[in-house]
Amino acid sequence: MLFGTKEQPEISDEIVSYDPSTLARGRVRKGEVESLFESLGNRRAARIVRSLPERGGFLDPDAVDRLLVNVHCEMQRMSEEFQHGRRVLELLSALVAAVGAKRRLRVVDLGCGTGYVIRWLAACGRVGGRVELIGADYNAALVGEARRLAGEEGLDCSFVVANAFRLAEPADVLLSTGVLHHFRGEALVELFRQHEASRASGFLHFDFQPSPIAPLGSWLFHRIRMRQPLARHDGVLSAVRAHPAPTLLSAARAGAPSFRASMYATRLWGTPIPRAFHAVVGARGEVWERFVRGLGRRAARLDDREGGGAR
């Protein structure tokens, strides 16, 4: 099985477990994860899990965390090569300006991992306005690495082990990268329901864009640029599992009806060639109108049709 199927889980989703309310780390039985992938016919994933250290039949959480930190460091290389920080800034600066306020705005990266996007934005210093940059993730090891890197770089940003929707001081703008494809079916709609119930005025979510060539392109890139077997496996499967624009727009509209949602810049320079990433962006009421005006000529790249086609 070279690429896997849309409904197959990624290894990284199965080797960690958290209580959704308390975020307490749960123990994961190694044999159960191996059996899961064997039952799905994914022997490659089963072999990767089999190679992981264990303690009394359970996956060693410290070894798993070290592996996930290494994998996220390799993922950062992809973000750097695709100049992902610049693409986030292009939309975020316009969205922050549209939200506008005399108080300090809170931009929260949902599932931030080791915090590349937040750290890049803090380093570039061009988001605009009075903005507080925060990364939130369930995994304490990833958050710890994000904090360490931000400290070494002297960046004005913060990282917390938390649910991005349950912060003591809620987000004004929510963003993410490579997170949406982890939510399937009703869970994706529920994610947007949490946006609706929050104080947030806007959201910006990037993910892989599915296309006939995406799995092969992802496989070639990960074979060349990634060293960790888990990174190679999950990176390619992410491209397979990624949601098309109609699915993202439908979920956003069903879950967050007070937001106007659109896809942004799905094609290269107006050609039929799909970009590696696409983004679903949304904002409430007048914020959306100001956001579109603030984009200027770039507003032509927005497409709120569920068929897609934006440049």
Question: Model confidence at 161, in pLDDT bands (50, 70, 90)?
Answer: very high
Average the pLDDT over 13-23 and give the result: 92
Mark whether 126 and 15 lie in a shared domain. no
pLDDT tens by residue, 76-112:
877 777 788 899 999 999 999 999 876 789 999 999 9
pLDDT at 271: 58
pLDDT at 210: 80
Mark whether 97 and 206 lie in a shared domain. yes
Mark whether 118 and 222 lie in a shared domain. yes
The structure tokens listed for 175 are 């963003």
pLDDT at 261: 97
**Residue 111 lies inside a defined structural domain of this protein:** yes
Residue pair 67/228 in contact by the 8 Å Cβ criterion: yes
pLDDT at 150: 97
**Residue 311 lies inside a defined structural domain of this protein:** no
Mark whether 35 and 94 lie in a shared domain. no
**Residue 53 lies inside a defined structural domain of this protein:** yes
Q: For strand 131-137 and strand 158-161, is the pairing parallel, antiparallel, or unpaired?
A: parallel
Pick from 22, 52, 68: which residue ends a domain? 68
Mark whether 96 and 245 lie in a shared domain. yes
**Residue 5 lies inside a defined structural domain of this protein:** no
pLDDT at 75: 80
pLDDT at 100: 87
Q: Strand (E) positions, the chain?
A: 54-55, 58-59, 105-110, 131-137, 158-161, 173-177, 202-208, 259-264, 277-284, 302-303
Residue 211 has pLDDT above 60, yes or no: yes
Residue 273 has pLDDT above 70, yes or no: no
How would you classify residue 111: left for phi > 0, otherwise alpha for psi between -120 and 50, otherwise beta?
A: left
Question: Model confidence at 133, in pLDDT bands (50, 70, 90)?
Answer: very high
Instruction: Output the CA–CA distances (angstroms, integers) from residue 231 to 72, 170, 206, 292, in the order listed.
Output: 8, 32, 19, 37
**Residue 131 lies inside a defined structural domain of this protein:** yes
pLDDT tens by residue, 165-209:
999 999 999 999 999 999 999 999 999 999 999 999 999 999 988
Average the pLDDT over 272-295 and give the result: 88
Pick from 26, 45, 68: which residue ends a domain? 68
**Residue 130 lies inside a defined structural domain of this protein:** yes
Question: Model confidence at 213, in pLDDT bands (50, 70, 90)?
Answer: low
Residue pair 101/253 in contact by the 8 Å Cβ criterion: no
pTM of the full structure: 0.91
Mark whether 101 and 233 lie in a shared domain. yes
Q: Which of 33-37, 266-270, 301-305 has the lowest mean pLDDT?
A: 266-270
Mark whether 98 and 174 lie in a shared domain. yes
pLDDT at 310: 46
- Specify which of 206-220, 245-259, 261-275 reaches the highest per-range mean pLDDT: 245-259
Mark whether 108 and 245 lie in a shared domain. yes
**Residue 155 lies inside a defined structural domain of this protein:** yes
Sheet holding 202-208, edge to edge: 158-161, 131-137, 105-110, 173-177, 202-208, 277-284, 259-264, 302-303
pLDDT tens by residue, 30-68:
999 999 999 999 999 999 999 999 999 999 999 999 999
Residue 222 has pLDDT above 70, yes or no: no
Mark whether 244 and 179 lie in a shared domain. yes
pLDDT at 21: 85
CATH number, domain containing residue 268: 3.40.50.150
- Considering its fold, how many domains does the chain have in total? 2
pLDDT at 266: 66
Q: Provide the domain limits for residue 222.
A: 70-303
Question: Model confidence at 311, in pLDDT bands (50, 70, 90)?
Answer: very low
Average the pLDDT over 5-12 and give the result: 85
Mark whether 255 and 129 lie in a shared domain. yes
Mark whether 241 and 143 lie in a shared domain. yes
pLDDT at 307: 55
pLDDT at 244: 92
Mark whether 39 and 49 lie in a shared domain. yes
Instruction: Output the CA–CA distances (angstroms, integers) from residue 62 to 55, 68, 115, in the order listed.
Output: 10, 10, 20
Per the prediction, the chain carries an average pLDDT of 89
